[in-house]
């Protein structure tokens, strides 16, 4: 299986989270970008502040690697206006994919109107600039019923307001990889959560993010039907190794 074109190689830690200086962190980010270029991964997923650097390195290498970033990360509680402003800056810096964190806490509290509006406006904004849009629903924070309902909400907003040929550019994505779970429970994609997402977001594609750390796990997700895999373990996956990272 040609697995590289499913892999969004991901590095989203801040310098503080990685216990690094800003200069050390910049070197780690550059190494991840270069690794994605060298191994022809589908995309490099990084924090917004690094988008311009990634685009520069990729253009200089005449590479086809895409650049993705996260919006309202990792909590998803920014206002609609803040999310749009962050997305606009990323687009200016050369981003290809915008991975918005859905306001899942608002959804859990019953405020589906707020969530529908942000999905509509942010999706339309991204598509109008010819970008791929992904909605992170944070499955570890949701019950099974909420996973089903939120996946369906995103699908229904997109199908009601976008053209059919745009559906493939709007993903439902499982996780940030930063959600804190109790008792070391999975904080990313699981087989059961991905199946629920696939069944309830179709025809929108699904991205499995968080917890995919080996070639076998990646293949399993692809066979289920996901179109992208977000992982900090992309090199280990293509090398047939098992990474230790939780993302």
Residue 207 catalytic?
yes
168 occurs within a structural domain: yes
123 occurs within a structural domain: yes
Residues whose CB falls within 8 Å of the CB of residue 159, separated by 6 or more in sequence, listed in order: 167, 203
Angle at 56 between CA 214 and CA 208, to 5 degrees: 25
pLDDT for the residue numbered 169:
98
Domain that holds residue 126: 4-238
* Chain length of the chain: 247
pLDDT for the residue numbered 245:
65
36 occurs within a structural domain: yes
Q: Please, what's the b/e burial string for 191-223 (b: 16 or more CB within 10 A of its CB; e: otherwise)?
A: eebbebbbebbeebbbbbbbbbbbbebbbebbe
63 occurs within a structural domain: yes
177 occurs within a structural domain: yes
> By three-state DSSP, how is residue 174 classified?
coil
74 occurs within a structural domain: yes
Contact status, residue 6 vs residue 222, Cβ threshold 8 Å = yes
Exactly one of 83, 93, 99, 134 is catalytic; name it: 99
For the chain, the domain total comes to: 1
DSSP code at position 207 = E
244 occurs within a structural domain: no
Q: Are strands 66-71 and 170-173 parallel, antiparallel or unpaired?
A: unpaired
Exactly one of 13, 42, 155, 207 is catalytic; name it: 207
245 occurs within a structural domain: no
- Both ends of the chain: CA-CA distance in Å? 22
Spatial distance between the Cα atoms of 200 and 148, rounded to a whole number of angstroms: 6
pLDDT for the residue numbered 77:
98
pLDDT for the residue numbered 243:
66
Residues whose CB falls within 8 Å of the CB of residue 48, separated by 6 or more in sequence, listed in order: 69, 70, 71, 86, 89, 90, 93, 95
Q: What string of DSSP letters covers 10-28?
A: EE---TTTTT--HHHHHHH
**What tokens appear for 42 in the block?**
């589908």
HSE-up of residue 225 (Cα within 13 Å, Cβ side): 17
Exactly one of 42, 55, 134, 173 is catalytic; name it: 173
Residue 162: give its domain's CATH number. 3.20.20.70
pLDDT for the residue numbered 246:
56
On whether the pTM is more than 0.85, the answer is yes
Spatial distance between the Cα atoms of 49 and 157, rounded to a whole number of angstroms: 30
pLDDT for the residue numbered 198:
98
Q: Provide the β-strand partners of residue 96.
A: none
pLDDT for the residue numbered 242:
72
Of 80, 43, 74, nearest in space to 58 by CA: 43
Regions of the chain where pLDDT drops below 50 = none
Of 245, 209, 246, 244, nearest in space to 226 by CA: 209
């Amino acid at each position: 299986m040609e697995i590289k074109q499913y892999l969004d190689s991901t590095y989203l830690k801040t310098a503080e989270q990685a216990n690094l200086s800003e200069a050390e962190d910049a070197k780690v980010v550059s190494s991840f970008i270069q690794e994605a270029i060298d191994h022809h991964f589908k995309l490099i997923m990084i924090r917004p502040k690094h988008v311009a650097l990634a685009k520069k390195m990729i253009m200089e290498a005449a590479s086809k690697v895409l650049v993705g970033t996260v919006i309202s990360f990792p909590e998803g509680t920014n206002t609609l206006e803040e999310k749009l402003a962050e997305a606009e800056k990323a687009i200016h810096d050369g981003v290809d994919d915008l991975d918005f964190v859905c306001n899942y806490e608002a959804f859990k509290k019953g405020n589906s109107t707020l969530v529908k509006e942000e999905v509509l406006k942010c999706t339309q904004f991204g598509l109008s600039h010819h970008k791929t849009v992904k909605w992170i629903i944070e499955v570890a924070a949701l019950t099974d019923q909420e996973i089903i309902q939120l996946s369906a909400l995103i699908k229904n907003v997109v199908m009601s307001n976008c053209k059919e040929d745009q559906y493939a550019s709007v993903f439902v994505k499982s996780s940030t990889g930063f959600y804190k779970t109790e008792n070391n429970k999975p904080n990313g994609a699981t087989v059961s959560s991905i199946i629920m997402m696939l069944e309830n977001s179709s025809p929108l594609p699904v991205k499995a993010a968080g917890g995919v750390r080996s070639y076998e796990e990646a293949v399993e997700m692809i066979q289920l039907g996901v179109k992208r895999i977000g992982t900090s373990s992309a090199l280990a996956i293509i090398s047939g190794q098992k990474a230790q990272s939780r993302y």
